[in-house]
Amino acid sequence: MEGNMSCKDEDLSVMTGLFNCLTEAYRCFLAGSYPPQNAADVAGVIYSGFCGPVHGKGREGSPSEYCGENSAELTCMCMSFLGRVSSNLTSQGLHPDVRFYYAEVLKVLLEDMDLITHLVKRFQAEDHIISHLAAKTASNCVFYLICKSGLISPAWQRKCEQAFQNPWPGAELDACLWSLTEVSKKLLKGAHRELMTLLVGFDLTLSVLCSKLLPEEKKHMSQHSVDFTRSSHWGTSLCLLLDLLEVLTSSSLVCGAGVRLKSQRVTHLHSLALLNICCSSEYYVKKRVLLLLKRAILQKAGEDWISGDVASGRTCGNWSSDMSILARTVLKAASDNWLLSIQMQSGAFFGGTRHILGDQIQNWDCMMLRAVSLIILKSIELCIQTAAGSEVKTATEVHAYMQSLWGFLRQYRFKQREVTHLCCWISMLFGEQDDDMMEAAKALLYIFLHYRLMSGMDEFAVLETACASGFNPHCHFVLLLQSMSFDYSVLLDFLISAETCFLEYFVQYLKCLRDDWQGFAAACGRITMSDCCLSQQKKLGADRSTLKCKGEPDKVESGSCVIPPAGRLGMASELRLVEYDTSDESDSENTVESVCALNGKQYKSTALLSPRPEGLLQPVLQSEETSHANMASLSWQLTGEISVRAVHCLSQLREVVTRLHTKKLFPYNPSSLLKLLAQVESCYQKSHLSQCSKS
C-alpha cells in the first residue's frame, strides 16, 4: 500500500515537472523565442508528456492509471504545443534562429521518436477532445513532413487506410476522415504537387470506403454485414465524408489535365446514393448532401477556400462524362418523384428553431430550396448541352421537369403566395443570392432556347408555354431590371465582378433579345406593377425580420435584396459602388447619345417616366414619401414603358462601358458586349419607327 502511494507521489511529481517545463517552452514559443534547454531535451519533455515518463515504462501501471485527469490535461497540452509549432514552421512565420531550434525539436520527435505512430493511436480515444486534438496535431505534422521532404508519413497513411477498409462510424473513422481532409485541403490551398501523390496512395481505400458507406442502391445495404445507418454516429461520419468528397471533387478541378482518379469522381459516380440519402437522413445531413451536389453540378466545389481558378480540370478526359452522369442521375431521380420525398424545415435564424403558431406563414429553408432548384435546373442545362441535347430529346421532357420543380416549390415557399406570373419565382427564390440567381437565370435561358428549338410551335405559343412553366428569359431579365429600379450601375457592378456568371448570362441573353425582340416586347406587356408588387410585398412581409435593404445605415446585408420598384426608388443611385457619371475621368465629348433622347441628362432612379402627348418621355419627380395609393395610381403604364426603361438602362450601360474602355479602365475587352448592346438599341429603334408608321 505504501509502495503504491509512493509511486503515485513520484508520478505526480514527475508530471508536475513536465507541466512546468512544457509551460515554459510554450510561453517562450508564443513570445517568439526558445527555452534555455536544448532541442532534444524539449522534445523529450513533449514525448514524456504525451507517452508517459520514460523511466516508468517498466511498471505495470502507467501515469494515466494513477492521475487520469492530470494525464489527459498534459496530453492535450503536448498536442496543442506540437500542433502550433508544426503549423508555424510550415507557414514560415518564425525568426530564423527560432525556426531552426523548433525544427530540431520536430526532427527529434518525428524521426527519432516516431511520435506520429503514438498520435494516430489516440484517434480511437474515448475522449472526443483527445481524439480530435490527435487528428489535428497529426495533420499538422504530416503536412510539415510533406512540405519539408515531400514524404507522407507511413504510420499515418497506414492508420487511415485501415480505418477506410473496415469502416465503422465512430471516433477512429471520424479522426481519419477529418485528418485526410485537412491535409488534402492544405495541399490544395497551396497548390502543392504532392497532392496527387497523396490521393493516388488513398485512391483504392477511398473507393472501398465509399462503396460501403454510399451504396448505389438501397438493396445493396443488405449485402453488408452491418447497416451503418443504424449507428448513432452515422450522421457525423457521413458529414465528414461529405467534406472529404468536396475536397476530392475540387482537387480534380485544379490539378490540370489528365485522367481523374476514381476517388476524385466519387461525388459523380455515387450521385444516386447521395440522392437517396436526401430522402431518409437527418435534416442536417440532407442539407450537407444537397449543398455538395449543388457545388458539384455548378463546378464550384471548394470555391470558398481555394485561391485562383478552379476550373482547369475540366479538360480531363472523363470530366464531361462525369458531369453527364451526375445530370442524368438527377433527372432520372426527378422522373421517379425524388422531389416528393424531400422534406423541408423552417429556415434557421439567430434564435434557433422557429415554431409556427396559428395562421403564421412558414418561412421555409431558402438555402435548401435554392439548392434543390439549382440541382434540377443545371442538370437539365447540362443534359441539353451534352451531345447537342440528345439527353433531353423532346420539349415534353423539358416541360415535365419544370412542372415537377414548380410543383415541389409550390409545396413550400410559394403555396401561400398569390403569384399570378410564374416567372416571378426566380427573383423571389434567388433574389437574396446573386450568384445563385445568375446561375439559375443562365440555366433557364438555355432551357428556353432548347425548348423553342425542339417544340415545333410558333413563337407566340412557345412564349405562352414558357411563361406557364416559369422559364421565359425575357420575363426574367425584365424582372431583374425592375428589381434594381432599372439602374445601369448595378448591371455594371455585375459585369465587373467575378463572383457571378453574369457576363456569360448577359451575353447569351442579349443574343436572344436581338433575335427575338417581339418576345421581349410581349414579356414587357405581361409584367405589370401589380404582379411584381404583390409577390414581392408578401415576401417582404414574411421576411421583414431578416431582410435588410440598401439605404438603412449599419444594416446593409446584401446588394441583392429583392425589392419591388416602388420600394427601390432612390436607393440604387444613392448607393452605387462608383459614381460613374460624376467621375473626374468622364468626358462630355465621349458620351454617346441616349436612345431614349433624355436631353443628354442622367436622371436619378427617383424619376418616374410618363409619356408626353408628343410621344417623348418626360421625367416626373416623385418624392420618397409618396403613399402606396399614389404609387399604384402612377403604375408607369408598364405595358408600354417597361421596354423603354429597359432599353434606356442598357443604353446607359453601353455609354459608361464605352467610356471606361476608352480610358482603359474596364477589366476586359468589352467589344463584343458593346456590339450586342448597340444591336439591341437598333432593334428598339426599328420597332419604335414601325409603330410610329402604323399609327
Please give the pLDDT value at position 136: 96
Confidence of residue 535 (pLDDT cuts 50, 70, 90): very low
Which residues, listed in sequence order, are joined to residue 346 by a DSSP beta bridge?
Answer: 364
Q: Can you tell me the distance from the alpha carbon of 480 to that of 471, in angstroms, rounded to the nearest whole number?
A: 14
Please give the pLDDT value at position 357: 52
Highest mean pLDDT of the ranges 67-71, 148-152, 220-224, 351-355:
148-152
Mean pLDDT is lowest, of 211-225, 290-304, 634-648, for: 211-225
Q: 225: buried, middle or exposed (CB in 10 Å: 19+, 13-18, 0-12)?
A: exposed
Which residues, listed in sequence order, are joined to residue 619 by a DSSP beta bridge?
Answer: 609
Q: Can you tell me the distance from the alpha carbon of 431 to that of 248, in angstroms, rounded to the nearest whole number?
A: 31
Say whether pLDDT at 352 is over 80. no
Q: Can you tell me the distance from the alpha carbon of 376 to that of 440, in angstroms, rounded to the nearest whole number?
A: 10
Contacts of 356 (CB under 8 A, 6+ apart): 346, 362
Say whether pLDDT at 298 is over 70. yes
Say whether pLDDT at 590 is over 60. no
Please give the pLDDT value at position 412: 78
Across 331-366, b (16+ Cβ under 10 Å) vs e yields bebbeeebbeebebbebeeeeeeeeeeeeeeebbbb
pLDDT digits (tens, 9 = 90+) for 489-506: 999 999 998 888 999 999
Confidence of residue 304 (pLDDT cuts 50, 70, 90): confident
Residue 250 is placed in which grid cell?
475540387
Mean pLDDT is lowest, of 147-161, 193-207, 446-460, 608-622, for: 608-622
Please give the pLDDT value at position 627: 39
Percent of the chain clearing pLDDT 70 (strictly above): 69
pLDDT digits (tens, 9 = 90+) for 637-693: 444 588 899 999 999 999 999 999 999 999 999 999 999 999 999 998 888 777 676
Mean pLDDT is lowest, of 288-297, 455-464, 603-612, for: 603-612
**What is the DSSP code (8-state) at residue 265?**
G
Across 266-284, b (16+ Cβ under 10 Å) vs e yields bbbbbbbbbbbbbeebeee
HEC profile of 11-54: HHHHHHHHHHHHHHHHHHHHCCCCCCCCHHHHHHHHHHHHHCCH
Domain boundaries along the sequence of the chain: 422-694
Please give the pLDDT value at position 18: 85
Say whether pLDDT at 560 is over 70. no
Say whether pLDDT at 373 is over 80. yes
pLDDT digits (tens, 9 = 90+) for 173-182: 999 999 999 9
Say whether pLDDT at 608 is over 50. no
Please give the pLDDT value at position 70: 66
- The closest alpha carbon to 305, from 262, 348, 258, 254, belongs to 254
> Amino acid letter at 680?
V
Which residues, listed in sequence order, are joined to residue 352 by a DSSP beta bridge?
Answer: 349
What's the whole-number mean pLDDT along residues 451-471?
Answer: 88
Rounded to a whole number of angstroms, the CA Rg of the chain reads 31
Q: What is the pTM of this model?
A: 0.80
pLDDT digits (tens, 9 = 90+) for 137-173: 999 999 999 999 999 999 999 999 999 998 888 899 9
Regarding predicted confidence, which is higher, 379 or 308?
A: 379
Residue 665's region, left for phi above 0, alpha for psi from -120 to 50, else beta, is: alpha
Q: Are 198 and 152 in contact (CB under 8 A)?
A: yes
Say whether pLDDT at 376 is over 90. yes
Regarding predicted confidence, which is higher, 295 or 52?
A: 295
Residue 368 is placed in which grid cell?
435548401
Q: Can you tell me the distance from the alpha carbon of 75 to that of 67, in angstroms, rounded to the nearest whole number?
A: 12
> Amino acid letter at 383?
C
Confidence of residue 356 (pLDDT cuts 50, 70, 90): low
Highest mean pLDDT of the ranges 9-23, 253-267, 407-421, 422-436:
422-436
Strand duo 607-611 + 617-621: pairing: antiparallel
Confidence of residue 575 (pLDDT cuts 50, 70, 90): very low
> Amino acid letter at 585?
E
What's the whole-number mean pLDDT along residues 292-316?
Answer: 75
Regarding predicted confidence, which is higher, 229 or 122?
A: 122
How much is the mean pLDDT over the chain? 77
What's the whole-number mean pLDDT along residues 394-408?
Answer: 86
Please give the pLDDT value at position 110: 94
Say whether pLDDT at 115 is over 90. yes
Q: At 608, which helix (H) or strand (E)?
A: strand 607-611
Say whether pLDDT at 591 is over 60. no
Say whether pLDDT at 547 is over 80. no
Q: Give whole-number Cα distances, 172 to 104, 130, 206, in Å.
A: 30, 11, 15
Percent of the chain clearing pLDDT 90 (strictly above): 44
